[in-house]
Structure 1
Amino acid sequence: MKAAVGDRIVTASGVVGGVVRDGVVTECPHDDGSPPYRVRWSDTGEETLVYPGSDTIVDAQVEAGSDEWSEPRQARALTWDVRITVVESGGSTTAEATVTNGPPDALRAVGHARKSPGDPEVPLIGDEIAAGRALRRLADRLLAVAEQDVSAAVGHRAHVHR
């Protein structure tokens, strides 16, 4: 990762549901643009020394190979929540996974699990299996929607690898 003074930096939260932070690089002590960077955060105004990880992107304000400044590209940071509802009854479990605030069209998927008659009653296992199956189907649906969107954008049938 390389950065320069004036670049925008965006860091995702290390915890589920945490805040995405963005700031501006105010100091880059290495001539080659390598970390660490001093960053002024937009939410607090404080400056900290940042050693970016894989959860961080740098939005450069300088076009590659150019000495002229350009308008900064706008980075996007989104949060999509998935709600899983689980219902268990008599050794059968059903889970529904729904994207609650993501794509314009609500996405949902259902997964089922059923215990074998001779197995002990451990509801958590059925919950995990049903929820996992619902999430896998939800992922397939999201990729199918993306494939339709890509096809519409390029004007011909496209394929998204799954």
Structure 2
Amino acid sequence: MKAAVGDRIVTASGVVGGAVRDGVVTECPHGDGSPPFRVKWSDTGEETLVYPGPDTFVEPQARLESSEWEEHRPGRSLTWDVRVTVVESGGSTTAEATVVKGPPGALRGVGHARKAPEDPEVPQIGDEIAAARALRRLADRLIAMAEADVSAAVGHKAHVHE
């Protein structure tokens, strides 16, 4: 793999569900363009030294004229962190799902689970149900936020299909 300053580099996560990161090569210490490369990441703005693996590809800037580069450059890469907090008390479980790092504004969903008196005590089941309900409510809030944003952008009431 070879790269030059200004090339775009994209690296898939080494774990399932991990973020795909993209950035711009800012330095190639070796004259022949071989790794490692110094990359400025689009999601954090930080620069790191990258030793690319099989999950990485380089898109040379030379393929596009400079005026076309921004127009055809794939979108940004984001990571939203969601924290789920679960509290159990007397056969009742409450979960709160909160977007910790993501869109502006406090976004959260709350879910509850209660076991029937005759059911055995299996805390994991209450945790799963309460967390799922909290995440569903959080998802509903995100959809509502998106609908409001689309409505504002197009100038009339819009509906986001799920």
* TM tier, smaller: 0.5 to 0.7
**Cα distance in structure 2, aligned partners of 1:87 and 1:124:** 12
Partner of 2:23: 22
Partner of 1:158: 158
Contact map agreement 2:10 2:22 (CA 8 A) in 1: yes
- Distance change >3 Å, CA 60–CA 121, structure 1 → 2: farther
Contact map agreement 2:19 2:79 (CA 8 A) in 1: no
Contact map agreement 2:36 2:49 (CA 8 A) in 1: no
**Cα distance in structure 2, aligned partners of 1:47 and 1:103:** 31
**Cα distance in structure 2, aligned partners of 1:51 and 1:39:** 15
- Distance change >3 Å, CA 160–CA 41, structure 1 → 2: farther
- Distance change >3 Å, CA 70–CA 17, structure 1 → 2: same
**Cα distance in structure 2, aligned partners of 1:103 and 1:126:** 29
Partner of 1:96: 96
Partner of 1:140: 140
Contact map agreement 1:62 1:70 (CA 8 A) in 2: no
Structure having the higher helix fraction is: 2
**Cα distance in structure 2, aligned partners of 1:77 and 1:59:** 19
Contact map agreement 1:62 1:69 (CA 8 A) in 2: no
- Is 1:76 equivalent to 2:71 in the alignment? no
Deviation at 1:19, TM superposition (A): 8.2
- Distance change >3 Å, CA 148–CA 94, structure 1 → 2: same
**Cα distance in structure 2, aligned partners of 1:127 and 1:77:** 31
**Cα distance in structure 1, aligned partners of 2:60 and 2:134:** 35
**Cα distance in structure 1, aligned partners of 2:21 and 2:147:** 27
Q: TM-score, normalised by structure 1?
A: 0.68
What RMSD over aligned residues (CA atoms) do the two structures have, in Å? 3.5
- Output one character per residue of 1:72-108: Cα deviation in whole Å (capped at 9) or x when no partner: 3363222211111111111110101111121111111
Q: TM-score, normalised by structure 2?
A: 0.68
Partner of 2:121: 121
Aligned pairs, how many?
141
**Cα distance in structure 2, aligned partners of 1:41 and 1:160:** 40
- Output one character per residue of 1:119-154: Cα deviation in whole Å (capped at 9) or x when no partner: 110111101110011001101110110111011111
Deviation at 1:40, TM superposition (A): 4.1
Partner of 1:110: 110
With 89-98 and 6-15 compared, the bigger mean Cα shift is at 6-15
